[in-house]
Amino acid sequence: MPHVSTNGIQMYYEERGNGEPLVCIMGVTAPGGVWEAHAAEWSKHFRCILGDNRGVGQTDKPEGPYTSAMMADDYAGLMDQLGIKQARVVGCSLGSVIAQQLALRHPDKVKSMILMCTWARQDRFGLYTWQHMMKCKATMRPEDFMHYVQMLIFTKPWFDNDDCWNNMQQGLKDAATNPAPQPVHAMEAQAAAAITHNTIGELKNVKCPALVIGGKDDVFTPKWMGEEVAAAIPGADLHLYDNAGHAFHWECLSDFNPRTTEWLLKH
């Protein structure tokens, strides 16, 4: 399976579709395969590159801490190894702050970017949340940790939907039987990148078009965080969904996929 050498690690990636490249960067604990429901649509128009971040999946998991800048350099190296001079980029949660750094540190490589449930800096509540998540990862069984994550990212309409509820229960079962769960040290290293990320003074230097998108009821990365990022990036677009949380891209899948596809095709 495809690995490349980049920034001192072996990084795993998969591809979907053809066309101009679209680099997809997932969030904490999640491998690139989590993009599948969105890549199924985007790949009709773009060559989607789905990477496993440093610390998860089939990519190397060195000791931390990691930084968002370090992880952005991982993706810059991946693009170089694949011969991609410039790409559209979409990042979710931790992936969105990696995308910010990619646009700031390697501006010629980013044609446009979508920043999902993003932030420019953490506040004290955010720090508390990340610290608690790390404690949960270190002390809970995998299915109990997944239970906590589900409570963070989904909102009431998702819990009230029978199909969604059943999918959540299957997610707990899958976590319990996962033969290769993310190691505690790797989750803590990724969390360090999330906690220490601070680009509030730099986002004014972003040159590419940007769409900031999220949920108004996100308790993990509250809407003020996305609003702050959108206000800081010159000309950025902002869309926040009603009655949706951190996992708004699944909760609002029927709107999210065509909305982001249309934006990407325009930018």
How do residues 75-97 score in pLDDT, each as one tens digit?
A: 999 999 999 999 999 999 999 99
Question: Which segments of the chain are extended strands (E)?
Answer: 3-6, 9-16, 20-25, 46-51, 87-92, 110-116, 210-215, 237-241
Look up tokens 């998860």; give the residue.
56
Alpha carbons 114 and 157: distance in angstroms, whole number: 25
CA distances from 115 to 100, 238, 239 (A): 8, 10, 11
CATH 3.40.220.10 for domain 3-142+177-266: no
Closest by CA to 145, choosing from 126, 132, 128, 156, is 132
Look up tokens 């998540």; give the residue.
133
Phi/psi-derived region of residue 251, left when phi > 0, alpha when psi is between -120 and 50, beta in every other case: alpha
Alpha carbons 31 and 13: distance in angstroms, whole number: 9
What's the pLDDT at 180? 87
Strands 3-6 and 87-92: unpaired
Torsion angle of C-alpha atoms 108, 112, 115, 121, degrees rounded to 10: 40
How do residues 23-62 score in pLDDT, each as one tens digit? 999 999 999 999 999 999 999 999 999 999 999 999 999 9
Alpha carbons 100 and 153: distance in angstroms, whole number: 22
Closest by CA to 221, choosing from 117, 151, 99, 147, is 117
What's the pLDDT at 4? 96
- The secondary structure of residue 205, as a DSSP letter, is G
Report residue 164 as tokens: 């969604």
pTM value? Answer: 0.97
Residues of the chain with pLDDT > 70, as a percent, come to 100
